[in-house]
């Protein structure tokens, strides 16, 4: 086996076995620090020994055994003399395992244990992403839009609180599940996010192992709580997003946005399952939660055989409903992307610019803004926004896409200059969308109460609404309206 093959085997083992090893050690020794450190040491030993000894037939078993020995050695070193006999009994681990409770999967058990109510929500999410998903601290920091140093401190404090409060590593009972499920769903969603657009250095743009594992764990959670609407909604959202995976990255490694994807490459089986879950929740008649609304938005997108058939008015209406439940800047950003397709880029840009202070460090904010400025022929501002988005982006496919879009601005500027060579455009002209620009701004202010512009104030360049299509007209294909890192249904 070549050195490259061994390295690939180690990388694959880390992705597939990290959570299993940590969960096994946490269950046996009841200490997250010991579990994490021993697992890391086992992988370090693998890096040293596998190139010389070869990859073992059962990498997961080898790593678990090695990690157990490392954990035992650490406990022996740190144990006091008076506790030797008691700890020796623990280390033999001859007692039969206790009842498994409501959860039989070790990794799902560990997720629920890390999501103990005694921990703050932010700590639960960060700790679980580190210990269960195996994400690095930089990857978690990017996923949660937090500084790397702050994220490392958050994880350290969470583990310290578990030790100080003597939080037990018990399997949650069926009665405990509803109280803990919300933070578990957040974790599963973020694990899926990281696989959907991976940010780790040197990783593939899409980590299928993470998306697959997130879907698997969500299916297990749904089996435990079949009547929970949010669990069903999250599973539907994941399935409808995963269905587009084969069409999301080009052969050259560049991101393909939702509007530009070849819909023939979408997985029809996953789409059918996702649509069935959405219909079941609609038939239930209960008020939808965040994930159910996101799944409904995904269902609108995946129901359109052609992007021109997308019901953008329905998408915006669903985002309006979501904003009332989750008034976060990320949701507002994705709503603005849909508004751009319905009411035009100027209205969307006005909404996005209000998010500047809260999303200044988020690459998708700058990517979306760059595209809207591009569509408004404000090339210099668009280039600056693309530069910032490229600087902040961590996904190689996104960087390739953003770089190409930025580099195309020079060609567009030459074409635009040729059109207006007789009289170079003034700055004021570049921000106008047509002869009705004054009425457009007035209507944009009124648009805070209603997202649809009156026909008399709609500029000629603004995309027509779905009502126009109902009369027999079809919209021309639109350009991608930005890149959203989160797998919101309106994203790539």
Q: What is the pLDDT of residues 114-157, one digit of tens each?
A: 888 888 888 888 888 888 877 788 888 877 778 899 999 999 89
Q: 0.75 cut: is pTM over it?
A: no
Read off the pLDDT band of 279 (50, 70, 90). very high
- pLDDT at position 293 is 97
- Find out whether 339 and 472 touch, Cβ atoms under 8 Å: no
User: Of 300 and 428, which is predicted with more confidence?
Assistant: 300
- pLDDT at position 413 is 53
Quickly tell me which residue has 């006091």 as its tokens. 80
Q: Is the pLDDT of residue 5 over 70?
A: yes
- pLDDT at position 408 is 92
Distance, CA of 16 to CA of 243 (rounded, Å) = 22
Q: Is the pLDDT of residue 309 over 50?
A: yes
> What is the arithmetic mean of pLDDT over 469-485?
34
- pLDDT at position 182 is 87
Q: Is the pLDDT of residue 204 over 90?
A: no
What are φ and ψ of residue 249, in 5° steps?
-130, 130
- Share of residues in the chain with pLDDT > 70 (%): 76
Q: Which of 248, 288, 239, 237 is nearest to 268 (CA)?
A: 239
What are φ and ψ of residue 35, in 5° steps?
-60, -50
- pLDDT at position 101 is 52
Distance, CA of 291 to CA of 237 (rounded, Å) = 7
> Which residues neighbour 1 within 8 Å (Cβ) at sequence distance 6 or greater?
9, 54, 55
Read off the pLDDT band of 222 (50, 70, 90). very high
Q: 16-21: which pairs have CB atoms within 8 A and are 24 or more residues apart?
A: 16/60, 16/209, 17/59, 17/60, 17/63, 17/64, 18/43, 18/134, 19/107, 19/110, 19/131, 19/132, 19/133, 19/134, 19/213, 20/60, 20/64, 20/106, 20/107, 21/60, 21/63, 21/64, 21/67
Q: Is the pLDDT of residue 485 over 60?
A: no
Q: Is the pLDDT of residue 93 over 70?
A: no
- pLDDT at position 412 is 58
Q: Is the pLDDT of residue 335 over 50?
A: yes
| Average pLDDT score over the chain | 79
User: Of 95 and 413, which is predicted with more confidence?
Assistant: 413
pLDDT tens sequence across 38-87: 999 999 999 999 998 999 999 999 999 999 999 998 888 876 544 544 45
Measured in residues, the chain has a length of 492
Distance, CA of 202 to CA of 377 (rounded, Å) = 35
Cα separations (Å) of 208 from 191, 306, 427?
11, 26, 46
């Amino acid at each position: 086996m070549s050195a490259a093959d061994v390295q690939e085997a180690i990388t694959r083992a880390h992705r597939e076995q990290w959570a299993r090893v940590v969960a096994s050690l946490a269950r046996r020794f009841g200490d997250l620090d010991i579990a994490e450190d021993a697992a890391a040491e086992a992988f370090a030993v693998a890096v040293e020994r596998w190139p010389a000894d070869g990859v073992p037939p059962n990498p997961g078993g080898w790593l678990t055994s090695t990690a157990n020995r490392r954990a035992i050695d650490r406990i022996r070193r740190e144990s006091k003399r008076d506790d030797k006999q008691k700890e020796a009994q623990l280390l033999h681990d001859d007692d039969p395992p206790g009842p498994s409770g409501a959860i039989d999967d070790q990794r799902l058990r560990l997720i629920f244990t890390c999501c103990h109510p005694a921990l703050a929500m932010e700590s639960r999410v960060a700790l679980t992403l580190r210990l269960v998903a195996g994400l690095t601290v930089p990857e978690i920091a990017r996923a949660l839009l937090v500084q790397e140093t702050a994220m490392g401190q958050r994880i350290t404090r969470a583990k310290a609180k578990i030790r100080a409060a003597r939080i037990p590593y018990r399997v949650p009972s069926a009665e405990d599940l509803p109280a803990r499920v919300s933070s578990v769903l957040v974790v599963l969603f973020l694990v899926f996010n990281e696989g959907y657009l991976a940010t780790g250095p040197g990783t593939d743009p899409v980590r299928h192992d993470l998306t697959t594992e997130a879907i698997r764990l969500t299916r297990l959670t749904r089996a435990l709580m079949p009547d929970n609407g949010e669990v069903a909604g999250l599973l539907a959202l994941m399935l409808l997003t995963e269905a587009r995976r084969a069409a999301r990255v080009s052969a050259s490694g560049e991101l393909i946005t939702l509007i530009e994807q070849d819909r023939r490459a979408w997985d029809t089986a996953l789409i059918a399952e996702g649509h069935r879950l959405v219909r079941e929740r609609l038939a239930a008649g209960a008020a939808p939660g965040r994930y159910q609304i996101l799944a409904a938005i995904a269902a609108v997108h995946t129901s359109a055989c052609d992007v021109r058939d997308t019901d953008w008015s329905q998408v915006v209406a669903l985002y309006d409903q979501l904003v009332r439940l989750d008034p976060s800047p990320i949701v507002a950003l994705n709503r603005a992307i849909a508004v751009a397709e319905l009411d035009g880029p100027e209205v969307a840009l006005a909404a996005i610019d209000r998010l500047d202070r809260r999303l200044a460090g988020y690459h998708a904010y700058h990517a979306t803004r760059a595209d809207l400025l591009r569509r408004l022929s404000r090339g210099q501002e668009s280039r600056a926004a693309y530069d910032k988005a490229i600087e902040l982006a961590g996904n190689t496919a996104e960087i390739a896409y953003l770089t190409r879009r930025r580099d195309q601005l020079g060609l567009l500027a030459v074409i635009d200059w040729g059109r207006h060579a007789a009289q170079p455009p003034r700055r004021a002209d570049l921000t106008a969308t047509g002869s009705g620009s004054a009425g457009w701004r007035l209507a944009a202010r009124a648009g805070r109460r209603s997202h649809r512009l009156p026909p008399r104030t709609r500029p000629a360049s603004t995309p027509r609404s779905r009502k126009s299509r109902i009369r027999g007209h079809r919209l021309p294909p639109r350009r991608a309206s930005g890149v959203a890192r989160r797998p919101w249904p309106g994203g790539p």
